[in-house]
Amino acid sequence: MRKWIAFPHREGLTSRQAHADLPEKAPYEREVGRNGFFGPATHIHHRHAPTGWSEWEGELRPRAFDLNELPDSPDCPWDAPTLLHNAHCQYRLWTCRASMKNLVRNSDGDELLFVHTGAGALYCDYGHLDIRDGDYVVIPRGTQWRLEVSEPMQLLMIEATNDYYQLPDKGLVGNHAIFDATVLDTPAIDDAFRAQYSEDPWQVRVKRHDQQSVIHYPFNPLDAEGWHGDLSVVRVNWRDIRPLMSHRVHLPPSAHSTFVASRFVVCTFVPRPIESDPGALKVPFYHSNDDFDEVIFYHAGDFFSRDNIDTGMVTFHPAGFPHGPHPKAFAAGQAHKKTFTDEVAVMIDTRDALHMGEAIRQVENPDYVYSWRETGDPS
């Protein structure tokens, strides 16, 4: 058995509670925490913003990437370059411009698709499912699937390597919070699915140990007539997510968890009212989350805590340094200039360090590290 070393203590000038009524002489609160936002934590009150560095040397740094500048995607999702990865997670962006002519199967882990743009239909072992922008689609490991495109689709693909996706424990707020499981849609054995039965030859491209094998069939193996059970492809759209909110305190990212794997979590930031209590912090708090790497994909809207970040971009904040809102966002929060956020973003927090692929290095903004300067402009 193990137990955290815990001894709540106050020292010097502090607020009475975290994230609220910060002292005027030390208005920059930094949360230093363990185990994400679930372990012991201390809130340190600084005279200066902990992101107020003047120079930076070395490979460890905050990074931003414009995925809109990636080269054209290949036809097969398994050929899309891995942008970020570790032993438990692979992070890709793939553009499906035309309907797939063969099936694919991921035998390395569950796949999570997030439809950034476009629309079409997913055909898989479980049937047919229409998908559109903003959809999450969880594809269990070993499932055969393909896409038919009505509008070219750009998809964020997050693999839970040698693992599976589950729903987060919603604790005190109960099973119907954030989204009710009744909004999870599953594929149907419908007329559209039956129409694709075929006695023509088909191929299945299988990814295992990051290598591809091709299985040939003299018929379309998506030939199920029915199924029963509690394992399936499932879909939920960000528009169905009803975020947890508090008008009196800014909630940590963990309150916005959508899916969890063993070594990382997927969170979704959706439009919500900004905290209205006069003393409440109204932007994400500065924090040193030294057990997790943080990656945010910006899907839509105005990203209120970041400057010069547009749709289709990604920020990557590895563990090892504090991060938080940009100066203009912090000042706007103090002035309560906005009462509502309209951002939609997908975040992953990984317990293990992420490594960058060569493709994502080619679309990095090298000036992002200095975007916290009061006069900095990374555009």
Q: What gap in Å lies between CA 156 and CA 265, rounded to an integer?
A: 15
Whole-angstrom Cα distance, residue 234 to residue 182?
11
317 is an annotated ligand-binding site residue: no
Q: Is 293 annotated as a binding residue?
A: yes
- Is 287 annotated for ligand binding? yes
Has 317 been annotated as catalytic?
Answer: no
Tokens 């009150």 correspond to what residue?
45
Q: Which own/partner contact pairs does 367-376 have at CB distance under 8 Å and 24+ positions apart?
A: 368/62, 368/63, 368/64, 368/315, 369/56, 369/61, 369/62, 369/63, 370/56, 371/64, 371/307, 371/308, 371/326, 372/49, 372/51, 372/52, 372/53, 372/326, 372/327, 373/52, 373/54, 373/327, 374/327
Catalytic pick among 43, 88, 250, 326: 250
Quote the distance between the C-alpha of residue 44 and its chain's center. 28
**203/103 Cα distance (integer angstroms):** 6
Query: What DSSP string runs through 66-113?
Result: EGGGSPPPPSSGGGSPEEEEETTEEEEEEEE-S--SSEEEE-SEEEEE
Binding residues: 287, 293, 323
Binding residues for homogentisate: 323
Binding residues for Fe cation: 287, 293, 323
Which residues form the catalytic set?
Answer: 250
